[in-house]
Amino acid sequence: MTAAPLRVAVLGAGTVGREVVRALLGRSDDLTPFDGPPLVLAGIAVRDVERARANGLPPDVLTDAPAHLVASEETDVIVELMGGDEPARTLIGAALVAGKAVVTANKHVMAHHGLELEALARRFGSALRFEAAVGGGIPVLGPIATELAGNRITAVRGIVNGTTNYILTAMADEGLDYAEVLAAAQAAGYAEADPSGDVEGLDAVNKLVILARLAFGVWLDPADVANVPADGPGAGRPGITGVSAADLASARAAGGTVKLIAEATSRADGGPPTAAVLPRVVDADSALGRMGGVLNRIEVEGEPVGMVAFSGPGAGGAATSSAVLGDLVAISRELGSTWAGLPPALSAAIR
């Protein structure tokens, strides 16, 4: 007997949402597990229905009322791709309380409200999956929670923001100042008109908080993650905003290069991990040093495995939709939440 389909509502049809919708419409058979229910598109919430219709989205499933899709008895899974804090946080919470599975790429909501949302998911037995919130298309959260679960993780580190890596790579290659490269990155579409979330390290901070939850079992407060270097490249300015061409030249002379490194490390006393997102000089010939352009690389150290690494496209609609679709298939396979069988996380403030 064929299992009843899982009815999927997608909230947001931007760069990532469009790719997810396209896959649900065109590759439903590919996304159906051998022993699980098919995934069918039940609704799409957008700000402008007429514009979405003109862009080719199916009119019969379009709405400008995402809350209606969350509350509807005709939806089983909510895919939140709206971004930002509200109303995304409230919609995710409402879906979890209603017993619906949720897939999200929203790193801000997960980093700032993950403790609350995890508690709701566990209380109401709802799957909450967020692989797409870190590393774009790179599968890293799932492996930490599952394949590496037999290890004691001691550190996670890496390049987790493509915009800043693009800027630093261009500065190093072309010998230009930060402001010049930022302007070029904005013109090329690699940086937003307001790039502060990326260049000040806040996007990377959010991703590090999520990585730390899987690696160390605590939800850190993003405000406690350092993002202003006290010395070295860019000293005194958040993220990479203070990094200069002179900093890159100095690093090059010593055989290094500058990268924005997000790192969380376990503490010997068992307390919450130390965590920071800072521009650092790394060996130019190292794996992190060679990671150019918009690519990401995340390294995980544990005992007994040693060091394993994950690298690939860290942003973009195609890459991020890969993680979203993978989470949808995992829900169809009844694999549960991203944290898999890990115990409930605590707030770092009360650990």
CB 152 within 8 A of CB 301: no
**CA angle (135 as vertex; 189, 281 as ends), nearest 5:** 80
Q: Give the pairing of strands 62-63 and 346-347.
A: unpaired
Which ranges of the chain does DSSP label H, i.e. alpha helix?
A: 15-26, 49-54, 66-71, 88-97, 107-124, 141-145, 162-174, 178-188, 196-199, 202-216, 245-253, 317-332
Q: Give the pairing of strands 152-159 and 295-303.
A: antiparallel
Is 107 catalytic? The answer is no
For residues 331 and 78, give the distance between their C-alpha atoms in angstroms, rounded to a whole number: 11
Phi and psi angles of residue 223, each rounded to the nearest 5 degrees, phi first: -65, -20
CB 194 within 8 A of CB 294: no
Beta-bridge mates of residue 103: 79, 129
* DSSP-based three-state secondary structure for 156: strand
Residue type, 231: D
The structure tokens listed for 330 are 């995992």
Among 100, 107, 207, 259, which one carries the catalytic annotation? Answer: 207
In total, the chain counts a number of residues equal to 351
For residues 20 and 18, give the distance between their C-alpha atoms in angstroms, rounded to a whole number: 5
CA 214 to chain centre: 13
First to last CA, the chain: 48
- Active site positions, annotated: 207
